[in-house]
Amino acid sequence: MSALRVLAALGVVVVFAAWGEAGHEIPYYPSFYPQEITLGFAESASVPRLFAKNAIHAYVGPLSAPKGAAKLAWVHSLRGFVVLTFNPSSRAFADARDRCAAAARLGAALATTKTEYVVHPYPVTPWHDDYVHHGDLVETAKTRATVTAAAGPALKLRVRSGLAAPPAGPAWRTAEKEWDATLEEISLRALLREEATRLNGWIGPPWLKEGWFQAHALYARGVTEAGARGAIEETFTRRIRGAYASAAERVNLERRLVSLLTRGCERVPLGVALRREAVNDDYSEGVENVGYDGQEGLGSAVFFRTVKLKDFPWNGWLRVAAVARPTAAWNPIGGFSDETGGLLWSALGDAAVLPEPYGGGWLPNRVRAVEVSGPVEVPPDALVPEPATGALRPVAPGVVARQRVTYRVALSKFHDETKMSVADVVYPYVFAHRWSAKDRQVERATALPREWLAAVRVVKVDTEIRDFGDLQVFLDTPVVEVYLRHAAEPAEAPAIAPPWSAVPWQLLVLMEEAVTRGLAAFSEDEARRHGVPWLDLARDRKLGDALGAIAEGFERRAYVPEALRGLVSVEQARQRWAALRRFRRQHGHWLVTSGPYGLQKWSGDSIVLAVFRDLSYPNVVGSFDRYAFPLRAWVAGVERRGDRLELQVEAQTLTKFERAYKIVREPMRLPPPGEKARDTLVAHWTVVSAADEVVATGRAHEVQGGRLIVDLKGKLPPGAYRVLLAMVLNGNSMDTEVKVIPYRVAE
């Protein structure tokens, strides 16, 4: 390692050691491993050459394995769904029975044909956390796919580019004109473009990664029969609004929804397509500790929060290439909406919570839900935003919320060196209500929190102390209660309307003023509709100068929006505006955030981000290490003892030697009660009756005699059942295997 690299690797220690005791370093390194990230752009054809020259450490985008790719490591994630979509104008297949039969004939042929995708004839896949709830239905669909259906009209098949046409057969022929059905891949990212909501520090909806939700997005629009459409939307609404009495009823709603969506065979599931992405695994020049998302791959927040260079214990210069240059504007409201922009924002801006990389839940990031309870009466000192203005008013007497989520909010400094405050935390609620009627993108992105939010209440601001000997860091931690009109699953509720903003309130106000004056628009659609620029806080110099004049006037007036009066003093406002203007003079842009990285420089060929290592930042090097190297587990054997199922488990183990590692599947030793376990192992189980109704569902983690115990005592009336079992190791439910066990309870 060169002397320059040694100094760079030690830089953070030297800086922090100056604050610590002589001869000691502070064991606390805010932000994440790389000190600098360079994001470049490359077409896939040129990527093998870049890897061979060690010019990049990772490529965010699909890549075929090049020859001699020994220095590369690969990650796999869900890319999309392969479906058969029938032409609603086709007279030959106007009847649902004919459509289903034709799809069955094609599916049976594909099941025995080598394809570039994985044959999977059911909407919910192993890459969904809720796959275990559908295991028996998946088995039925797979069995049906292997049975050739009765003869029927020949299908005139159109095949979209990117997919190979199936082998010719008497039941179908390829056609481009007057086609009956289309064989196509629907990209997951394209599918969720209108379903996902990302605004400032909010990500949603909470069920974004669930199979039933994605099935609704993929199939609902194609259903033609009015009665079926009504039943679908009624079931979907009940599920997302928590209109069920038990976990079993919830799972039944999800299973019923998927069944309704595909019953008419307007669109039929045939398989899943996987994304392969590469990272540099060179002994010296490569990277390790790579986390990714089971559905987003490397293009996710967890990648930058885990990856580290092999030659550096921390720090170092990370070089990443993306498929395309960013095309969307850079603003945290309606910008960063393309794939590369989303990757950039995942490093610049901190979301309140992050999607679990290998599951369907949410990870605490800048807020942590400490309690989910309800129903509860909303206290009189809670505040609610007015629908049109966003002004915060006391809640009406006697309001009862279905659910209350209590958060602890981890404040820190913004990149302009100002300290976050309660005003920053509550202003997004004001913004959402004020602008939802003025910008369609804001309306869509904030629809869920606006519909669900009953009130918000700042309970208190605690002070947490981090003690490093001679240095003590004092952190303000607001405790905030958010009251919801509906009740969600406890794992989903924290993601609905969290009290958080990735940017300071004065930057939101500055953007609002620019849009109000007609200088720009938050979203691309509104910019096009009004004939103004799409608001860009960095690359639009003309707009940047105009924002400077506005900010100067706001500093002179010590401007505070009406909704924040009482939360922000005149002096605090003047300091905030001065700091924002100073930041722009120093950095050449207005993109102030509280995230782990800041925008340092950019050009047409690359973007450079610099780490923000401030001691007030709550996440540190290693905070997300548990999401590197996702390992899997399987049910290897099941033995019934009375009302219990005793599970033998096999799991992958990771063995590291210097900078190499090996993953091996072997029987898993489960430590006895009282002994601390290195790994977290949970059995997800669901019991289905002979009538295909879910009667019980849950999770088991009790260990006895080296086996995992699923105790069904008292949960089932007499009858015949199927028990669906799946193992989740350290939160990884991706690419899981479901075992279906017959089970009978005697009279």
> Does the pLDDT value for residue 531 go beyond 60?
yes
The pLDDT value recorded for residue 11 is 31
Average pLDDT of the segment spanning 121-147: 92
Average pLDDT of the segment spanning 564-580: 96
| Separation of alpha carbons 322 and 703, rounded Å | 45
| Separation of alpha carbons 133 and 387, rounded Å | 39
Q: What is the DSSP letter of 402?
A: S
The pLDDT value recorded for residue 12 is 34
Here the tokens at position 545 are 């100068």
Q: How confident is the model at residue 148 (pLDDT cuts 50, 70, 90)?
A: low
Sequence-distant (6+) residues with CB within 8 A of 553 are 559
Q: Residue 402's closest CA among 379, 376, 369?
A: 376
Q: DSSP states of 96-108 as a string?
A: HHHHHHHHHHHHH
**Buried b / exposed e along 8-35 (16+ C-beta atoms within 10 A):** bbbebbeebeeebeeeebbeebbbbbbb
Per residue in 329-338, pLDDT tens? 999 999 999 9
Q: Residue 200's closest CA among 429, 529, 526?
A: 429
Q: What is the DSSP letter of 537?
A: S
The pTM of the full predicted model, rounded to 2 decimals, is 0.93
Per residue in 608-621, pLDDT tens? 999 999 888 999 89
Q: Would you call 176 helix, strand, or coil by DSSP?
A: coil
| Separation of alpha carbons 205 and 595, rounded Å | 22
Q: Where are the beta strands (DSSP E) in 29-133?
A: 36-41, 58-60, 72-86, 118-119
φ, ψ at 333 (rounded to 5°): -100, -65
> Does the pLDDT value for residue 596 go beyond 80?
yes
| Separation of alpha carbons 578 and 575, rounded Å | 5
175 or 12: which carries more pLDDT confidence? 175
> Does the pLDDT value for residue 580 go beyond 90?
yes
The pLDDT value recorded for residue 149 is 64
| Separation of alpha carbons 141 and 108, rounded Å | 11
Q: How confident is the model at residue 194 (pLDDT cuts 50, 70, 90)?
A: confident
Per residue in 479-489, pLDDT tens? 999 999 999 99
> Does the pLDDT value for residue 192 go beyond 60?
yes
Contact 72, 280 (CB under 8 A): yes
Distances (CA, A) of 425 to 200, 481, 497, 567, 613: 11, 12, 11, 11, 22
> Does the pLDDT value for residue 27 go beyond 60?
no
Rg value, the chain, Cα: 27
Angle at 509 between CA 479 and CA 602, to 5 degrees: 100
Q: Is the peptide bond preceding residue 375 cis, with omega within 30 degrees of 0?
A: yes
> Does the pLDDT value for residue 51 go beyond 90?
yes
Domains of the chain, earliest start first: 78-273 (3.10.105), 350-598 (no CATH), 631-745 (2.60.40)
φ, ψ at 602 (rounded to 5°): -155, 155
> Does the pLDDT value for residue 707 go beyond 60?
yes
Average pLDDT of the segment spanning 432-436: 95
Q: How confident is the model at residue 388 (pLDDT cuts 50, 70, 90)?
A: confident
Average pLDDT of the segment spanning 26-46: 87
> Does the pLDDT value for residue 7 go beyond 50?
no
Mean pLDDT of the chain: 91
> Does the pLDDT value for residue 508 go beyond 90?
yes
Angle at 599 between CA 597 and CA 601, to 5 degrees: 135
Q: How confident is the model at residue 174 (pLDDT cuts 50, 70, 90)?
A: confident
Q: How confident is the model at residue 17 (pLDDT cuts 50, 70, 90)?
A: very low
| Separation of alpha carbons 11 and 33, rounded Å | 12
Per residue in 77-107, pLDDT tens? 999 999 999 999 999 899 999 999 999 888 8
Average pLDDT of the segment spanning 354-363: 95
pLDDT over 70 percentage in the chain: 96
**Buried b / exposed e along 235-254 (16+ C-beta atoms within 10 A):** bbebbbebebeebbebbbbb
The pLDDT value recorded for residue 673 is 82
Residues linked to residue 660 through DSSP beta bridges, in sequence order: 657
Q: How confident is the model at residue 152 (pLDDT cuts 50, 70, 90)?
A: confident
